[in-house]
Amino acid sequence: MEEIDEIVQEFLVESHENLDQLDRDLVALEREPGSRDLLGSIFRTIHTIKGTSGFLAFGKLEAVTHVGENLLARLRDGKLSMTPQTTDPLLAMVDTVRELLASIEDNGTEGDVDVSDVVERITAILDGNEAAPAPTPIAELLPEPAADPEPEPEPANVVAEPATVAEPVVEPVAAPAPVAAAPPAPPARPVPADTAEEGVTRRNVADSSIRVDVELLDTLMRLVGELVLTRNQIVRQAGDQDGLDLMRSAQRLNLIATELQEGVMKTRMQPIDHLWSKLPRVVRDLGAACGKGVKLAMVGRETELDRSLLESVKDPLTHLVRNAVDHGLETPEGRRAAGKPAEGVLTLRAYHEGGQVVVEVCDDGAGIDADKIADKALASGLRTSAQLAQMSSADILQLIFLPGFSTAQSVTNVSGRGVGMDVVKTNIESIGGTIEVESVVGRGTTCRLRIPLTLAIVPALTVECAGDRYAIPQVSLLELVALDADRAASAVEDVNGASVYRLRGALLPLVRLTDVLGVESERSDGHVLIAVLQAEGKRFGLVIDRVLSTEEIVVKPLTSRLKSLGTYSGATILGDGRVALILDVQALARRALTAEALERGAGDGGAEEQRAAGEHLRMLVAGIGGGRRVAIPLSSVTRLENIAASSVEVVGSREVVQYRGAILPLLRLDRHLGAVSERAGDDLVVVVYSAGARSVAIVVDEIIDIVDEETEVHSDIDDHGLVGSTLIRDRIVEVLDVRAAILAADPKFYSEPEVDLDLRNELQEAV
Amino acid sequence: MSTRMVTFTLDGHLYGVDVGAVQEVLRGQTRTRIPLSPRTLAGLINLRGQVLSAIDLRALLDMPARAVDTEPMLVVIRVAGEPIALLVDSIGSVVDVDADQFEPPPDTLAGVSRDLLLGAYKLEDQLLLALDVDRAVAA
């Protein structure tokens, strides 16, 4: 019932606005009676009211507007023209509509407002028009007198009418005098009576809410953003001085600005119920389609969030709900067998927490089995068994958000095509939100979305690096770790040039902001500050010089030229008026930690194997002559091929080979590493390595083995082209420096810096 | 047909931009440098709550860098409605120039400066080089 009321409320507000518009249009129409635009506008207004009233079952309202609409349609189409005889009933109709609306607003019903009179009058015009003997086209415009026998006490006009109209019919514009004379009278009749009661009641709905252009709200939001900045500046300056009065004023300003900011933000807020209200139907239909009984519970439907965010959450939320019904809940038989009520319960919960809106989609279904997820991830090559062994079951559950992951046993028309959860995640992350899943087998699953309240103002951590200040959005920040010089020396470990830190036992890869930005650190005391960040599902530590503070920052867009640097997501103005760049944590993560993504790209030859933090690594062992054996991390290898020696061609000083329509630079590993090939014969064994669109072919003597070994590299060999040596099956095997080898074959191979970084990571991990 | 130009100097030369394009002239703004950005971008400045990019015209015109101890001036211009700041050595004045004083860039002028200059106005004592702001900002 509550919902119905809300719809009626909206209808009333809208209709009152429409009627105001209608009045303006009618007045304007008196001045230019022939205006099709005005008639069209009036027609649309009445049509809208008619449509909604039909929908809401306000029969009288519908009847009145229906005949009114018919009359207007004829006027608009030029089949009738405006005369006082048409204007009067039209205005009477509008007034009746007002009366009806007022009654509806009063008591929710149409009351005893009599509409038959107006309906008859208009019908008479319509009929009269049709029934008119119409000897000439001109006469067609004069059926109104026929309608007049009705209770319409306006003889003066009627008399005046034929005289003026008879001639200028062709240009109705020429008849302004009578038209102008007539309307003022009729409205004068019903209106006074109406306004008296309306004036009181209408204020309740129409006057207590107004429609505001979203753009105006955006402008207000921007201005408030500026105010917040100025407030930050003043508060900071006041803190530096001793004036007590200034301090008080600053605090007051602080308070007011905060309240104002909240107030303005509220104007853009809408309850999440706007989204949820569509879901019962979705759930019902889907439950019926799947043969499942579903009870939908909603908690916290009044929770509000920014309307632009609401729009972005719509699709992900719908997807999660569909997923829960389709996959989460069991069939009634299954539920009974599990000792649960046959009807499943789907609970939507929304609440505010820590400056964010949390939206949960919970089902009491079968839950997600982490082991199944792990198996699936292994089978589809998304994770290795070694990696999975190190993950907690909660972490394993989050794998469902990886692209290409779907555990549905069968593909239904609802879900289970392996697309979906990753899209949900991407959508949520694009608005600065996060998503996580929790599940207890047999008890159910909960998907939790965390969405920022608004996008324009975000809480951020300000940090310093090489004397410059940067802002890191709090949403990506997990924790801060500060190490003094002594601890830093031992706690930050080096894996062949890549720093890692043991954060509660797990290795956290470290990225130095100074390295990323190509600047010199000003910190020389050995202290290390690590901001532990999470982005794209990966955790990493960003090493910064200094942490300054947390503050709310107003995000200012950057020019596209600066955006394309892929390092900054925006700029902001700090409390002291200086501009600080906002770090794009997602992009940083992509730049620094792309090993995994790249490997998937190259992974059609079993190259998915990738070891997590240290031990297992698959190696391709190849002979290069002279009894020497070289190990190449298999993750670098795309394909093994035999090619004819005669197919090698020379371009400039390089050897190349045509391979699958592309030209591959050729690297003879024996020459590269100073060995002498012992292979005789007219074919070459090549190892193809690809990254992105580029590939190189590495020529070896023979492929000896692929081993999955504990590799413990002794990097004491400082030989050109090698990163060290290792023991594999009791033989010393040299580990190839893939990067150097590839550069020798194709100096431009790593023209993209990301690939460069990536491979370095990979190698470091390999060693 | 006369034009009003705001003049400024760069490495001893007199340059000018149409007065209509100029929003304001500023001194001594703190600039936030942008690591990884092109050399011609001299940083971001805060102009009454608006974040503006600053273009170093010396770098853009392939001139030697400004001496460290000299503080550049900022000419804020509007290009396509968007304000952007130009770093110059010093501000001159506003001069009226006539179309008949104008000549296109000499044929011997090559490189970046040719692309960025509309031409030169022959003033009595020196040449006033008219900067093509649209190109300067796009470069």
Average pLDDT over residues B29-35: 87
Residue A579 and residue B45: Cβ atoms within 8 Å?
yes
Helix, strand, coil distribution of chain B in percent, nearest 5: 15, 50, 35
Q: Are A393 and A356 in contact (CB under 8 A)?
A: no
User: Which residues make Cβ contacts (< 8 Å) with residue A29, sequence separation at least 6?
Assistant: A35, A38, A39, A42, A82, A87
Contacts of A573 in chain B (CB under 8 A): 46, 49, 51
Tokens of residue A730, six digits: 């009791």
Q: Is B64 on the interface with A (CB under 8 A)?
A: no
N-to-C CA span, chain B: 29
Which pLDDT value is given to residue A282?
Answer: 83
Amino acid A313: pLDDT: 86
Residue identified by tokens 């004068």 is: A188
pLDDT score for B28: 72
Under a CB-based contact definition with an 8 Å cutoff, are residues B14 and B130 in contact? no
**CATH homologous superfamily, domain A2-205:** HPT domain (1.20.120.160)
State the pairing for strand pair A722-728/A457-465.
unpaired
CB proximity B32 to A under 8 Å:
yes
Encode A50-75: b = buried (16+ Cβ within 10 Å), e = exposed: bebbeeeebebbbbbbbbbbbbbbbb
SS3 A508: strand
Q: What's the per-residue H, E or C state across A370-431?
A: HHHHHHHHHHCCCCCHHHHHHCCHHHHHHHHHCCCCCCCCCCCCCCCCCCCHHHHHHHHHHC
CB pairs under 8 A between A and B: 54
Q: What pLDDT does residue A713 have?
A: 57
Cβ separation B46–A578 shorter than 8 A: yes
Is the CB of residue B68 less than 8 Å away from at least one CB of chain A?
Answer: no
Instruction: Say whether residue A257 is in contact with chain B using an 8 A CB cutoff.
Output: no
A753 near B CB under 8 A: no
Residues in chain A closer than 8 A to B136 (CB atoms) = none
Using a CB–CB cutoff of 8 Å, tell me whether A470 touches chain B. no
Q: What is the CATH number of domain A271-447?
A: 3.30.565.10
The DSSP bridge partners found for residue A360 are A349, A448
Instruction: Work out the minimum CA distance from B98 to partner chain A, whole angstroms.
Output: 36
The verdict on a CB contact (< 8 Å) between A517 and B41 is no
- Whether A580 has its CB under 8 Å from any CB of chain B: the answer is yes
**Closest chain B residue by Cα to residue A559:** B53
Which among B97, B137, B126 has a CA at the least distance from the CA of B14?
B126
- Taking the domain A214-268, which CATH number applies? 1.10.287.560
Strand partners, B46: B51
> Would you state the structure tokens that stand for residue A9, as one six-digit string?
């409320």
Rounded distance between C-alpha atoms, residue A303 and residue A72, angstroms: 44
Sequence letter at residue A300: G
- Among chain B residues, CA nearest to A224: B49
Domain edges within chain A: 2-205, 214-268, 271-447, 457-591, 595-766
In CATH terms, the fold of domain A595-766 is: OB fold (Dihydrolipoamide Acetyltransferase, E2P) (2.40.50)
A223 and B CB contact within 8 Å:
no
Establish whether domains A2-205 and A595-766 are of one fold.
no
Q: Are B130 and B120 within 8 A, CB to CB?
A: yes
Q: Do A567 and B49 touch (CB under 8 A)?
A: no
Q: How distant is the Cα of B54 from the closest Cα of chain A, in angstroms?
A: 12
B35/chain A closest Cα distance in angstroms: 5
For residue B80, give how far its alpha carbon lies from the nearest alpha carbon of chain A (Å). 13
Domain A457-591 has CATH 2.40.50.180: yes
**Quick check: A519 contacting B, CB < 8 Å?**
yes
- B81–A contact, CB cutoff 8 A: no
Residue A115 in tokens? 């509409």
| % of chain B at pLDDT higher than 90 | 32
Structural domains of chain B, with CATH: 2-138 (2.40.50.180)
Among candidate residues A344, A365, A369, the one with its CA nearest the CA of residue A443: A365
Q: For A236-269, give one letter per residue: b (16+ CB within 10 A) or e.
A: eebeeeeeeeeeeebeebbeebeebbeebbeebb
- pLDDT in the model for residue A462: 92
Low-confidence ranges of chain A (pLDDT < 50): 1-2, 130-203, 409-419, 595-616, 752-760, 762-763, 766-767
The two three-digit tokens of residue A39, written as one number: 């008639």
Using a CB-CB cut-off of 8 Å, the residues of chain B touching A518 are 35-36
Instruction: Give kind and range of the element (H or E) at residue B103.
Output: strand B102-103
Residue from the list A230, A519, A579 with its beta carbon closest to the beta carbon of B44: A579
Mutate to test the interface with B, among A579, A588, A591 (most CBs of B within 10 A): A579
Q: Which DSSP category does A635 fall into? A: G
